[in-house]
Structure 1
Amino acid sequence: MLQDKLNQDLLARFTPKPGRHALLPELTPQQTLALLCRVLFREGYNDHIAGHITVRQDDGTYLANPWELTWGEVSASDIVRLDQQGKVIEGEWNITPAINLHMDRHAARSDVHVVIHNHPQWGSVWSAAGRIPPVYDQTSALVDSDPVLYDEYRGTVEDTELGRAVVDALGPNKWALLANHGVLVVANGIRQAHLRAITLEWRSRLAWHVEALGGGSPLPDHVVLATGKRTDGNGFPFLWEAMAREEIRRDPCVLE
């Protein structure tokens, strides 16, 4: 009950005052996903054309970024729509052969509306090392749990059996490091997905630098838990909107 009250107080404190301009223009689901791709690309989710994001829609279909384009060039009109088997039913591009990883994850958990898979630089360093990065600062604690370490690499995840093994390894958790491969993040919506994805890469980058200096003092577990519980439920207040606005200013064509 106390934690719920803290969460309500935090959200109330950061609610815009009446009469202020909207934090973002009204966006279509396609525009929102294109913005997420662009924002995460700048955060390090930039392994060429690798990686994919799926977003469950109310009608049971899924939106996804196309296979042929980098996350840094995707615009709203490039987003494709998939059926429940992962087949393209709307759009001009193709979808990754590894889409089964996403479809299986969505099918296994009704709470998952967004699935992100990529090979970001710093998360991939720790996945290759087979280690979980410690939490060395407040920003690294914005999500209140450690990622799962799936420590067996047996091939690429377009193989149905191998993709399902990754899904099983994630279980009910929020995110995972895939040994010798990359990362997997799931969320209840775009704002939470954004927070989890950038927190994992920030945490991985900072921990690498701290340990390169010989190590440091990680935050106590109870501090990490308390920090994450105040922010991870629906994303840190205003953070997604700020990053999306920055991307729109940088290239308004993302909305086309």
Structure 2
Amino acid sequence: MQQPKDEHALREQICTIGQLMHRQGYIDGNSGNISARLDDGRILATPSGLAKGFMSPDQLIIVDMDGNRVDRPTPANRDLRPTSELLMHLECYHKRHDVMGVVHAHPPVAVAMTIAGIDFQQCLIPEAVVILGLIPTTPYATPSGPENRDAISQLIEHHDVLMLAYHGSLTVSDSVWDAYLRLESLEHTAKILTTVHQLGGPKRPIAPHQVEKLIDIREKIGLLKPGDAEGFYAACGIPNVSQDDDLTERVRGIVREALADLID
């Protein structure tokens, strides 16, 4: 979905996302945060210390790319501060000019997977391969500070979905609505993977040639990132073409030597 150009419409959409996150159980209490990039480059962000499922549009706060508050305070947000995870949000916008929306949540099953040490980077669900891509998990970092920003800094350049170990999720997109939809897909994927492990683990992963078709689809819809293909090759057991060529050449060399010995 395209990001609303009208600021008030965008404020309402962020509040709707907050309600959905609360209703779906992706956040609890005052946790979670949402932001969106405005057309002029400023960032519209949810406030800290406020239940995201019960926000009003006039409670959102505008900051610049350095995190300075630049809006005119209203009675509704005068005493509020921007989200405590603002540094992490700003890092996404600094690293990715295509990112227009960021959603941070605490989806319970996905977070539980990081605690249990279950890897998200498995080629088991077609929709996850195409829409979510590879989902790395960051090292543990203390929430609400520069550690979280540093933990995601390099990974967010090449991924739209990250898991923050023991903590939560981070999803980005070219609209805040699509960033939220990625959160939904992430938790749905986590539920399936968890069930698979409860049933004894995957018995028949998707065949490598079928995974390659999914990678092609991801590329055609503009979601393939630099290094994605190589990452999928490693995660899904697909032979890298260049590695395959090297192996073929080594085998040919062995055969040539064997034939030479026979001739001698």
Q: Same fold (TM over 0.5)?
A: yes
- Which residue in 2 is equivalent to 1:119? 106
Q: What is the Cα deviation at residue 111 of structure 1?
A: 1.1
Q: How many angstroms apart in 2 are the aligned matches of 1:208 and 1:192?
A: 24
CA RMSD of aligned residues (A): 2.7
Residue 207 of structure 1, aligned match among 168, 188, 193: 193
| In structure 2, distance between residues paired with 1:172 and 1:138 | 20
Q: Note closer, same or farther for the CA distance 1:76–1:95 as it changes in structure 2 (3 Å cut).
A: same
The change in CA–CA distance for 1:100 and 1:203 in structure 2 (over 3 A counts) is same
CA contact (8 A) 1:192 1:232 kept: no
Structure 2 counterpart of 1:132, which letter? D
Matching of residues 124-163 of structure 1 within 5 Å? 124-133=111-120, 134=122, 136-137=124-125, 139-141=127-129, 143-150=131-138, 152-158=139-145, 160-163=146-149
Q: Is the 8 A contact 1:43 1:201 kept in 2?
A: no
In structure 2, runs of 5+ residues without a counterpart are 1-6, 224-264
CA distance in 2, matches of 1:124, 1:31: 28
Deviation string 1:222-246 (CA, Å, 9 cap, x unpaired) is 364356567786xxxxxxxxxxxxx
Counterpart of 1:105, as a letter, is C
2:165 pairs with 1:179: yes
Q: Is the 8 A contact 1:141 1:227 kept in 2?
A: no
Does residue 82 of the first structure (1) align with residue 63 of the second (2)? yes
CA distance in 1, matches of 2:60, 2:37: 13
Find out whether 1:28 has 2:9 as its counterpart: yes
In structure 1, the gaps of 5 or more residues are 1-25, 234-256
1:190 aligns to 2:190 (yes or no): no
* Whole-angstrom CA distance in 2 between matches of 1:36 and 1:228: 26
AA partner of residue 51 (structure 1): G
Distance change >3 Å, CA 98–CA 136, structure 1 → 2: same
> Counterpart of 2:39 in 1: which secondary structure?
coil
Whose RCO is larger (CA < 8 A, sep 6+)?
Answer: 1
Q: 1:225 aligns with which of 195, 210, 215?
A: 215
| Counterpart amino acid of residue 186 in structure 1 | V
Superposed displacement of residue 183, structure 1 = 1.2
Show the counterpart of 2:246: none
Structure whose CA Rg is larger: 2
SS in 2 for 1:97: coil
Query: Given the superposition, is the C-alpha separation of residues 206 and 61 from structure 1 closer, same or farther in structure 2, using an over 3 Å criterion?
Result: same
* Distance apart, 1:100 and its partner CA: 0.8
> For 2:189 and 2:169, how far apart are their aligned partners in 1?
13
Q: 1:36 and 1:208, CA in 2 relative to 1: closer, same or farther beyond 3 A?
A: same
Contact 2:101 2:177 in 1 (8 A): no
CA distance in 2, matches of 1:201, 1:179: 15
Could you state the TM-score of these two structures normalised by the residue count of structure 2?
0.68
Q: Which amino acid aligns with 1:52?
A: N
Match of 2:237 in 1: none
Identity %: 24
Deviation, 1:211, is 1.5
Q: Which aligned pairs between 1:232-251 and structure 2 lie closer than 5 A?
A: none
